[in-house]
Chains A and B, each alone.
Chain A
Amino acid sequence: GENVEQHPSTLSVQEGDSAVIKCTYSDSASNYFPWYKQELGKRPQLIIDIRSNVGEKKDQRIAVTLNKTAKHFSLHITETQPEDSAVYFCAASRGSAGNMLTFGGGTRLMVKP
């Protein structure tokens, strides 16, 4: 089955700096790669996703890059703000129709004001 590794497990940055979180996956058939932000005790919230036919996607301060050959994808957050502090999870799937999501181990991001 799919195995998703995520690094780092914790990340502390100064407000205004950039944050990068990296994930690798093992299943070459995976084609959907979402990133979630999770507040304590809440459901994961989708912040951006990318499919395997695209190498990069950007939404304001958030961007995701995908390298299919190397089987890794990364989340980039620019101009970080204290409200970006949360736990972030990457995930991989063969596509949502009937296929499960496999999550990475999570990254606790702390943005210091």
Chain B
Amino acid sequence: GAVVSQHPSWVICKSGTSVKIECRSLDFQATTMFWYRQFPKQSLMLMATSNEGSKATYEQGVEKDKFLINHASLTLSTLTVTSAHPEDSSFYICSAPDPGASGYTFGSGTRLTVV
């Protein structure tokens, strides 16, 4: 099936710095990428939907100036957490529609810890 490669798998950063998370579709073109956030012992909550070549759509309550999403090509979508704070510490995971299986494929997730 389709594969989405997500990097880094974990990152520790200082409060106030920015962190970029990348998701690459390896064997298909992802025109849409969904970005989810998962706090410990909670469910996956959609943060935003990125579409290649256009602005991302953010869910209510998600700050678009803090969580910058770029989907400049059909194989790469990035999420940048700007001016990270400890409350941004979470598991971030991307997902794209799987063109072959008519479902969704997920990246492996990024564990962000802000200290």
Which residues of A come within 8 Å of B, CB atoms?
32, 34, 41-44, 46, 49, 89, 93, 95-106
Contact = CB atoms under 8 A, between A and B. Distances in A.
Contacts of B108: 42-43
| Chain B interface helix/strand/loop/mixed | strand
| Chain A interface helix/strand/loop/mixed | loop
A100 B31 CA distance: 13
B91 A44 contact: no
Contact of A96 (B49, B93, B98): B98
B104 A101 contact: yes
A37 B45 CA distance: 16
Given A89-B43, A98-B97, A101-B34, A32 B107 contact: no
Given A32-B103, A96-B103, A89 B44 contact: yes
B72 interface: no
Contact of B103 (A41, A43, A46): A46
Contacts, number: 52
The 6 closest A-B pairs by CB, nearest first: A96-B97, A43-B106, A103-B43, A103-B44, A105-B43, A106-B43
Given A41-B91, A42-B108, A100 B46 contact: yes
Contacts of A101: 34, 44, 46, 95, 104
Contacts of A100: 34, 46, 49
A105 B91 CA distance: 16
